[in-house]
Amino acid sequence: MKNKKNLSVIIWMATLITIGAIIGSFTKPEISAWYSTLNRSPFTPPNYIFPIAWTILYGMIGACGSIIWHARSSQTVKLMKILYIIQLVLNWSWTPLFFNYHLVGLSLFVLCCMDSVVGLLIWLAYRKIKLASLLLIPYLFWILFATYLNAYIWQHTS
């Protein structure tokens, strides 16, 4: 049984890392053609940091998903699954909205929604599945930082 759970965690992690990499690969042309021309915050990390951070975060998000999906079913766990899916949809929609369609304001709104959903998911998981909650805390900090970076661009875009 434990080997099945370990395999599930690995599959979840690998799947989310792969999906993140695929979505991220579509942004490469826009990073040099559009993103590099934006007025960005002085706190914006170098571009090479983003794929490293997201690989680690998607691994943690994947592990969290596996843990939630293996939890004993309850109303709280059902709500956590819904929130988990919502945050993934928001996460995966942000990249094309921002980089491909240049919808900086809508992207900011998506990030604010994602911040709220992930925060609520952490709060719910902390009572029921503490490890899932703890795995999401670095993700929340990163997307809050991303919200700041996106807001800075939105505010300084003419």
Residue keyed to tokens 């980089």: 99
Percent of the chain's residues with pLDDT above 70: 99
Helix, strand or coil, per DSSP, at residue 27: coil
pLDDT at 4 over 90: no
pLDDT of residue 157: 87
Confidence at 1, pLDDT banded by 50, 70, 90: low
Q: How far apart are CA 68 and CA 80, in angstroms?
A: 7
Over residues 8-30, mean pLDDT? 93
| pLDDT per residue as tens digits for the range 43-87 | 999 999 999 999 999 999 999 999 999 999 999 999 999 999 999
pLDDT of residue 32: 80
pLDDT of residue 133: 97
How confident is the prediction for the chain on average, in pLDDT? 95
DSSP labels, 87-127: HHHHHHHHHIIIIIT--HHHHHHHHHHHHHHHHHHHHHHHH
pLDDT at 2 over 80: no
